[in-house]
């Protein structure tokens, strides 16, 4: 079976992908510097799958960390989740974001090349489409117009990957543009565990549900949408995890560089999401209408045809499943992965 190196494998999306891979009998090696995740994730992965992935505490910017892993393991494919991802923080600390995300990706690719590993999957984002001229977007839509340094790191890394695939045909690269991953593993053992006040909608709502926050602030109800709130394509993190398995299989065809949007194809408003969580909760969730948030686009959701046709990817969960599983995780782990 294939050996997959998962960078950022103890993070939110990485950990769910690791579970998916282990369940399908892939061998998994993780490198993570634990800047935004906890060791306890490994116990949870083991509890769910009965297997403990090989873990290296290390940094993708550190060549020694990487070369040790490539020497000790015959890696077939690298999935690069490692990176900083907080939009607001990236505006305040652009250099840290460019250094961690872009320099990190370049060092990782260089070390892969040195060690004859040429299969690479990259966590990109729907944010590379900026404010799309129309929805749904497909993979041919123009990229650019990112509104923050975080988004720009994704855009630049995509560009680097395209140049690399052009220059070095041995590389096979799959760029996955995630829409809005939410939800948690149905076991309630793994989920999203943001530091401090959550920036994103779903973890903010679950913290209101568990009593850690007073109410949800809805950032604007005067957008040009049916209920006035922004529309996004929310995708269950377990569906997203499975998308990486589809991508690994695609790389066997030596496709050069390929790009897929990963979403459900369905746009949901902030109120749609709030109502899905209320259904899971069985009671109303307090909210208030607040000012628009800078940088938010009115609507972004994807066409699903390309991923479905070329890699057989199809999301199976809807927003009610996402809300149920996110709530189950938060309820069972009110303080995330912290020891109680």
Best CA proximity match to 103, nearest among 144, 70, 62, 146: 62
Chosen from ligand NAD, ligand UFG, none, partner binding at 296 (C-beta under 5 to 8 Å by type): ligand UFG
Does residue 137 interact with ligand UFG by CB under 6 A? no
Residue pointed to by tokens 């973890």: 203
In the complex, the residues that contact ligand NAD under the rule CB under 6 A are: 7-8, 10-14, 31-37, 59-61, 81-85, 100, 104, 123, 125, 178, 181
Q: Residue 280 phi/psi, 5° resolution?
A: -65, -35
Restricted to residues 57-86, the positions that interact with ligand UFG (CB under 6 A) are 85
Binding of ligand UFG at residue 97 (CB under 6 A)?
A: no
CB of 151 to ligand NAD, least distance (A): 9
Q: Give the residue among 270, 289, 286, 296 at the shortest CA–CA distance from 220.
A: 289
Q: Give the residue with the Cβ less far from ligand NAD, 105 or 251.
A: 105
CA dihedral 99, 124, 11, 265 (to 10 degrees): 160
Helix then strand count (H, E) for the chain reads 12, 14
150 included as an active-site residue: yes
Report the C-alpha gap between 223 and 229 in whole angstroms. Answer: 6
Query: CB under 6 A: which stretch of 43-51, 59-67, 73-81, 199-207 binds ligand UFG?
Result: 199-207
Nearer to ligand NAD, 104 or 136 (CB): 104
Q: Which of 2, 16, 44, 232 binds ligand UFG (CB under 6 A)?
A: 232
Cβ 192 vs Cβ 12: under 8 Å: yes
Taking the complex as a whole, how short is the minimal distance between the CB of residue 305 and ligand NAD, in angstroms? 21
Residue 236 contacts ligand UFG per CB under 6 A: no
Contact residue for ligand UFG among 156, 219, 271, 281 (CB under 6 A): 219
How far CA 241 is from CA of 15, 75, 143, 314, in Å, comes to: 9, 19, 24, 12
Closer by beta carbon to ligand UFG, 62 or else 200? 200
- Three-state SS string across 217-247, please? EEECCCCCCCCCCCEECEEEHHHHHHHHHHH
Q: Which residues does residue 30 pair with via DSSP β-bridges, in sequence order?
A: 6, 55
By the rule CB under 6 A, 87 interacts with ligand UFG: yes
Active-site residue among 98, 150, 260, 301? 150
Q: Does 179 bind ligand UFG (CB under 6 A)?
A: yes
Would you say how long the chain is, in residues? 340
Let me know: does 210 contact 330? Beta carbons within 8 Å: yes
Euclidean distance between CA atoms 42 and 33, whole angstroms:
14
Window contacting ligand UFG (CB under 6 A); options: 5-13, 95-103, 210-218, 306-314: 210-218
The option from ligand UFG, ligand NAD, none interacting with 217 (CB < 5 to 8 A, set by class) reads ligand UFG
Question: What's the rounded Cα separation, in Å, for the pair 268 and 314?
Answer: 17
Binding residues for ligand UFG (CB under 6 A): 85, 87, 125-127, 178-180, 199-201, 204, 216-219, 230, 232, 270, 293, 296
Active site residues: 150
């Amino acid at each position: 079976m294939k050996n997959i190196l998962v960078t950022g494998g103890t993070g939110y999306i990485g950990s769910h992908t690791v579970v998916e891979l282990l369940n399908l009998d892939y061998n998994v090696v993780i490198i993570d510097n634990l800047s935004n995740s906890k060791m306890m994730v490994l116990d949870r992965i083991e509890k769910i799958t009965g297997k403990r992935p090989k873990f290296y505490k290390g940094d993708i910017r550190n060549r020694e960390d990487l070369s040790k892993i490539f020497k000790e393991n015959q890696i077939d494919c690298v999935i690069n989740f490692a990176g900083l991802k907080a939009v607001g923080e990236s505006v305040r600390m652009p250099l840290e974001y460019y250094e961690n995300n872009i320099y990190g990706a370049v060092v990782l690719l260089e070390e892969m090349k040195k060690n004859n590993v040429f299969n690479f999957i990259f966590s990109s984002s729907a944010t590379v489409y900026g404010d799309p001229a129309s929805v749904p977007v497909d993979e041919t839509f123009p990229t650019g117009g990112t509104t923050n340094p975080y988004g720009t790191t994704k855009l630049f890394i995509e560009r680097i990957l395209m140049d690399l695939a052009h220059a070095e045909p041995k590389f096979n690269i799959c760029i996955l543009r995630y829409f809005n991953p939410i939800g948690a593993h149905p076991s309630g053992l793994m989920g999203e565990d943001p530091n401090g006040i959550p920036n994103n909608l779903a973890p903010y709502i679950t913290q209101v549900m568990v009593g850690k926050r007073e109410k949800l602030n809805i950032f604007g109800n005067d957008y040009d949408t049916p209920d006035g709130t922004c529309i996004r394509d929310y995708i269950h993190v377990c569906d997203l995890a499975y998308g990486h398995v589809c991508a690994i299989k695609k790389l066997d065809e030596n496709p050069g560089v390929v790009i897929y949007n990963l979403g459900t194809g369905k746009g949901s408003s902030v109120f749609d999401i709030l109502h899905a969580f209320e259904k899971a909760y069985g009671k109303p969730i307090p909210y208030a209408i607040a000012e628009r948030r800078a940088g938010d686009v009115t609507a972004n959701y994807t066409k699903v045809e390309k991923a479905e046709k070329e890699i057989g990817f199809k999301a199976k969960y809807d927003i009610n499943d996402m809300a149920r599983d996110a709530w189950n995780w938060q309820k069972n782990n009110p303080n995330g992965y912290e020891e109680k």
